[in-house]
Structure 1
Amino acid sequence: MRKIKILAHISLDGVVQAPGGREDNSDFAHSGWSMRYSNKATGEGIVAAHGSKYDLLLGRRTYDVFANYWPKAPSGAIADGFNAAKKYVATHRPDSLDWGPVEDLGTDVVAGIRALRAQDGPDLIVWGSVTVTSLLFAHGMVDEVVLFVYPVLLGSGKRFFTDSAEAWKLELVNSTAGSSGVVTNIYKYAGALQIENAAR
């Protein structure tokens, strides 16, 4: 069975939108908010989080953003890995998937992901794709979450979870603080959040 790992650059108030710049073609005021914290150690941590071999599991918007950037990016561990990885995409327009190797998840995205996860193969890495992330949690198909937490409060922007998402529990596996203030937290999925009744 494959492991599904969700990776995200995230602000202290949960925003994950456009950390590297205006790659999402939006008018988000804080695009590029993570860049001032980039350093060698953070980059090495991001590379390590992917593992030696992986495929990508992406929503259509994130796929399009990546397809516009990574094929033209300078060669490096992330660029080479992304370009070589098989991309599995949730989309209603499979005929327009040009950045390969690529395969659409079909009309039933949950069934498509479930079938992928049951196969033997490399880890499935999710970046961005907040809609896919919510689906994965809702159907218990998350194995690991790696959050690169930046010491910024953005106030607005797309968040890691939508307001309609259910509550889930994660268990901290490891936490590492870098010299730039970025904290890398690795969690494993631990199921639905159970609220204990307060003693009366």
Structure 2
Amino acid sequence: MRRITGAAFLSLDGVMQAPGGPSEDYTGGFDEGGWLFRFGDDGIFETIGSLFAGEYDLLLGRRTYDIFAAYWPYVEGDGAEMGRAFTRAGKHVLTRGDESLEWENSHRLGGIDDVAALKQSDGPDLIIQGSSTIYPGLLAAGLIDRLTLMTFPVTLGRGKRLFGDGTPARILRMVDHKVTPRGTVIATYEPRGAIPTEGSFPEPSISARETERQRKMQGGGW
């Protein structure tokens, strides 16, 4: 069985859009593309190197696939080796569309059930890059084994976020962490299941003011 690891670059306010360059993804008017390289340091690049050091396949959403397919097969210079590695790797694309996947070693996944079947198959472990829209469904289905989140000391204000609409309520356990010289927190988590529905809570207030507050909240006027 394969393991699935999500690895994401995040701002403090949870934005993960276009860390790699100004033209990567400026949809929604996002104008801070390339922010990773303004704050990156050796600690970040060591983590990236370790993540891709062994054999792996990629699990991607369609838009991230399009970004990668238009860049990595053609990159020269320092990025050429990574481009060749990504081309060799299997690229499993979770998409509802029927557009062709022309980059070699690319495979279509029509839904979460297909990801579950892929996870049960033989082959390298899977690494998610980018692909913010696929996280809620994968988390809800219990398909993600690890999350490595690299949180940079910057707020970006707007942009696509890792934990968007549909993210389930879940407990995660931190299994590793470090802080880079420039203050990026690299933390790795493993899902631990649903949040308990029972707990020990303080007794609610029975004051008239609290009763009025509850009335307003229930009526949508608070």
TM-score (norm 1): 0.91
3-state DSSP class of the match of 1:121? coil
Q: Which runs of 5 or more structure 2 residues have no equivalent in the other structure?
A: 204-222
**Of residues 75, 99, 105 in structure 1, which corresponds to 2:103?**
99
Q: Output one character per residue of 1:76-108: Cα deviation in whole Å (capped at 9) or x when no partner.
A: 5543332221001122444511112111013xx
Number of residue pairs aligned between Structure 1 and Structure 2: 198
- 1:47–1:77 Cα contact (<8 Å) kept: no
Higher relative contact order (CA 8 A, sep 6+): 1
The worse-fitting range, judged by mean Cα deviation, of 30-39 and 52-61 is 30-39
Q: What CA distance in whole angstroms lies between the structure 1 residues aligned with 2:178 and 2:84?
A: 26
**Alignment-mate amino acid for residue 49 of structure 2:** V
Unaligned runs of 5+ in 1: none
Q: Which consecutive segments of 4 or more residues in structure 1 shift more than 4 A? A: none
Deviation at 1:114?
Answer: 0.7
Bigger radius of gyration among the two: 2
Equivalent AA in structure 2 for residue 23 of structure 1: E
User: Which residue number in structure 1 is paired with residue 213 of structure 2?
Assistant: none
Q: Which amino acid aligns with 2:11?
A: S
How many angstroms apart in 2 are the aligned matches of 1:136 and 1:149?
Answer: 21
One-letter amino acid of the structure 2 residue matched with residue 18 of structure 1: A
Which position in structure 2 is the counterpart of 1:15?
A: 15
| CA distance in 2: counterparts of 1:84 and 1:166, whole angstroms | 34
Range 65-74 or range 187-196, more displaced: 187-196
Q: Does 1:187 align with 2:189?
A: yes
Q: Residue 85 of structure 2: which of 70, 81, 93 is its match? A: 81
- C-alpha distance in structure 2 between counterparts of 1:12 and 1:149, whole Å: 6
Residues 118-150 of structure 1: per-residue CA shift (max 9 Å, x gap): 012211111111221111001111100001110
Q: CA RMSD in A?
A: 1.7
Q: 1:77 to 1:169 in 2, by over 3 A?
A: farther
Separation of aligned partners in 1, 2:196 and 2:67: 37
How much has 1:59 moved relative to structure 2? 0.8
User: Which AA in structure 2 matches 1:148?
Assistant: M
User: Match for residue 198 of structure 1?
Assistant: 201
* Map 1:105-184 → 2, pairs under 5 A: 105-106=109-110, 109-184=111-186
Name whichever of 97-106 and 190-199 sits farther off: 190-199
The share of aligned pairs that are identical, in percent, is 41
Q: Per-residue deviation at 1:45? A: 0.9
Secondary structure of the residue aligned to 2:35 is coil
Query: Aligned letter for 1:3?
Result: R
The one-letter amino acid of 1:24's match is: D
Q: CA deviation at 1:197?
A: 3.8
